[in-house]
């Protein structure tokens, strides 16, 4: 697929796979909105893309906050003139919020936090991107997956469940 001229919104793109996807898409001529809760990291990704001659913008967004998600999609529309691709990459593993990782010791709070970001966040982003995506000839929604959704891993109950949802 040729992404030149396409407009991407990538959540959780301040580091890791999201940052790499943003940089790669921009290197092939796509415009990218980098979105993250870590503003410093997100801005660094945008600057790295611009340094390489790409087009990128930063928009802070907590994917569990519907108002912020709505604003993310509206800002993407304003800055890029549309959205062709939504990459739901924002996500967390239970080890990022708790030391109690096994099924019998994990708190409901930890489980719900992982589900809120990984599942509800993806749903909210898709919901608010959809009106913009419908205007695109080549629209796509990419939800980050994991082998954790099909294979059981120790201390990966919430994450695996969220990726299989």
* Residues with catalytic function: 159
Residue pair 73/88 in contact (Cβ under 8 Å)? The answer is no
Residue pair 89/136 in contact (Cβ under 8 Å)? The answer is no
The Cα 103–Cα 153 span in angstroms is 11
Helix axes of 157-164 and 108-115: crossing angle, nearest 10 degrees? 30
- The dihedral of CA 12, 18, 23, 24: what is its sign? negative
């Amino acid at each position: 697929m040729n992404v030149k001229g396409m407009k991407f919104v990538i959540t959780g793109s301040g580091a890791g796979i999201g940052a790499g996807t943003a940089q790669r898409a921009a290197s092939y001529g796509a415009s990218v909105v980098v979105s993250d809760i870590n503003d410093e990291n997100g801005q660094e990704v945008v600057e790295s893309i611009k340094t390489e001659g790409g087009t990128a913008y930063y928009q802070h967004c907590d994917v569990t906050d519907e108002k912020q998600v709505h604003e993310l999609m509206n800002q993407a529309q304003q800055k890029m003139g549309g959205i062709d691709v939504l990459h739901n990459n924002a996500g967390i593993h239970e080890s990022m919020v708790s030391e109690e990782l096994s099924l019998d010791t994990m708190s409901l709070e930890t489980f719900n936090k992982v589900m809120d970001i990984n599942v509800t966040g993806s749903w909210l982003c898709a919901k608010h991107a959809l009106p913009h995506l419908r205007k695109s000839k080549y629209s796509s929604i990419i939800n980050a997956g994991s082998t954790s959704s099909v294979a059981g891993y120790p201390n990966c109950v919430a994450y695996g469940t969220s990726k299989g949802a």
